[in-house]
Structure 1
């Protein structure tokens, strides 16, 4: 065996080690997305806001009348606006210094701390809950800029669909595991000698502890790459760097076209994820146990869905598989509008359908975009991508909240999201992805 062969083998081994470490950030932070954002915080924060509401069901933050049932959706929107303001600074700092890992650690542990502090959310402290949600959700979005920017560096072009899908699968696996523990605690809270509200607060806080603990794995295994010096200080040039990134993206209009499509349809996905528990509890009258087991079903099937859609992408191409998943999302929302109240079996069927397309549609979107990023601009472009993924997904929750504010019906709110999938599908279908990859200066896979 030659020295060159040994060096390549060692390099491949080191890369696999990084990939395994990279998967574990999904394993760490996905518990926040499932246990906190999807299951517990929406209904619980709504109940806290109702405790603080007047006789007409309104709270008055800063003197503005807001329906208690809209507080959670509005807080999600505010958190995303905060993330928009911070992500350009972080993306520029990462690309200028090459030090993604310290920035990832800072964002992850700020979010994990805010989530752990949700244990103190009780009584009528809805403003505390909204503030912690804003900090945790914005921190997650910022951390994902840095996490996603590692993908082009740790995976070759022909393996990114598989690596990205495995990352999502790790995340859904941890989400399912922790939800089982949450379900045991919540349903048996009397046995454990704790009130129901305390059980919920323990579930919220435990997600923060899990997030912080397992973030240690990627921080140990991922490594930063050296970059050429970039002149000025990173924080002061963050917004100028964003403007430069957007100007640079104008030279890659097909990449920009994909981002626009992703912005639209992912806004719908993120809103369904964050508002599903509110819809189930407030409109369908389902109890918390039903909601937990439904989301657990989503987690289990999402693992199979992410891996299965990754395999389908190798046969049919990522773009076709994503378009098929968006058609399924549209059917899910249409069916959800007609779901009868107090019918858990129908809700479980909808949850199963969501699970089968959720992980794959997100994983394949991430890996497809990685092919469209010019070399050396990963963090900058993934900062823009993350704005589409989480940072600009404020419109869906805002539309959802306004629909309920104006009509008092969560059914009207949920059906309004169909437009995001319809428009996103049309825009994605118009993007010639092979030409977009070639225009970015990257090798074009045989099937994409």
Structure 2
């Protein structure tokens, strides 16, 4: 084969890869609106109000005959969705690797989630059971779809490209979340001007996230392609498959070491995200409009943060950049401890700090893990990664709650989360990533 032919083939391969990458970015653009508008902003308060409408005089609802305080129904539904995810992700991930039919599975999961989210338009009156069921389905489907989506990264990007590609994906997601959240806030805050009730405005915001998800999911589903492999043995049931995945990971202890570090510091990240609004309202006495504006600020700056840290990773390597971001998280939390009450500007400064390190630390963690996955086991290993991301983040809220219960201070509770970033830093620093990548059977990039 001549040199010109080889060069042309390489150019064509690079062009095909870039086309797939551009399509891949759009799944983050499609689904991140669900995480921002539905889970972070609107669904929790609204579903709680629907449960309260259905509650008896004692303040309890009775799903399946079980007495549940109305205010606890939403977090219980989220917890149940995590259990469903734990059962589904290893099963689907192993099936995707063994058959090579990843794209159809991604499509099914995405449209189940999008359909359930769009169905939240019908959540009114006292239909709390409908709301809980739709939340469980949408959340579990989102977890499964994200696991499949993440597992494409080592297949569509060379080792040298992964930090950049992963960072751009996160940036696309945060940009979409910010864009739609602005539109949602206009509709919600000016609902009277549009002739809508507050409840109807919320239902439109919820349903529109599902329509957005489903519409833009078409782009990655058209551009991504399957890497077909021979069909092997059937997958085991969910928990057995998870146990089999963990046993296989024990043959790659350095990969498991990174996953442990990620589990610890990501638990801190997820807790800061979920509890920052509680800290702002209860400790700092801030209005709901201030908190929503802060969420929007985080979304916007996370775009710049993801891209900026991605550039730093190309110079210093992903591991060093993540370690630097964990230091920045620690400094941000320490500053948050001293925030004065009743002064929104300083809370916005805190939100800016969170936004700048949030997207980058998540994007680079994903790309670094992609180097540690043995070839042919991408979806299976990313199911364990996604469980660390979504299914295991309970220690942080527990520590936050226990600290508040013992001290009565949300300031003590927020500073207690520093432990996750310090421990995560130590665990990650101990992982020799060059050897871990080599042991997994992958080429080692110059900068990692």
The answer to whether TM tops 0.5 is: yes
> What is the alpha-carbon distance in structure 2 between the residues aligned to residue 304 and residue 425 of structure 1?
23
| Equivalences for residues 200-279 of structure 1 within 5 A | 200-230=202-232, 232-234=233-235, 236=236, 239-279=239-279
Alignment partner for residue 24 of structure 1, among 26, 29, 46? 26
Shift of 1:401: 6.5
Shift of 1:140: 0.8
Corresponding residue for residue 291 of structure 1: 291
Q: Does 1:186 align with 2:188?
A: yes
Cα RMSD after superposing both structures: 2.7
| Equivalences for residues 49-448 of structure 1 within 5 A | 49-51=51-53, 68-230=70-232, 232-234=233-235, 236=236, 239-281=239-281, 284-397=284-397, 414-448=414-448
Corresponding residue for residue 46 of structure 2: 44
> What is the alpha-carbon distance in structure 2 between the residues aligned to residue 332 and residue 430 of structure 1?
24
> What is the alpha-carbon distance in structure 2 between the residues aligned to residue 282 and residue 64 of structure 1?
30
Secondary structure in 1 matching 2:231: coil
Q: Which is further off, 435-444 or 35-44?
A: 35-44
Consecutive unaligned residues in structure 1, runs of 5 or more: none
Shift of 1:362: 0.3
- Deviation string for 1:36-57 (max 9, x for gaps)? 1122223333444455567786
Aligned residues: 446
CA distance 1:127–1:57, shift in 2 (3 Å): same
Secondary structure in 2 matching 1:263: helix
CA contact (8 A) 1:17 1:221 kept: yes
Shift of 1:414: 4.4
> What is the alpha-carbon distance in structure 1 between the residues aligned to residue 220 and residue 97 of structure 2?
19
- Deviation string for 1:98-138 (max 9, x for gaps)? 00111101111111112112223334444433332222111
Structure 2 length normalisation: TM-score?
A: 0.91
> What is the alpha-carbon distance in structure 2 between the residues aligned to residue 18 and residue 274 of structure 1?
33
> What is the alpha-carbon distance in structure 2 between the residues aligned to residue 405 and residue 73 of structure 1?
19
Q: Which is further off, 366-375 or 237-246?
A: 237-246
CA contact (8 A) 2:37 2:206 kept: yes
Shift of 1:74: 3.5
Shift of 1:331: 3.5
Consecutive unaligned residues in structure 2, runs of 5 or more: none
Q: Which is further off, 382-391 or 217-226?
A: 382-391
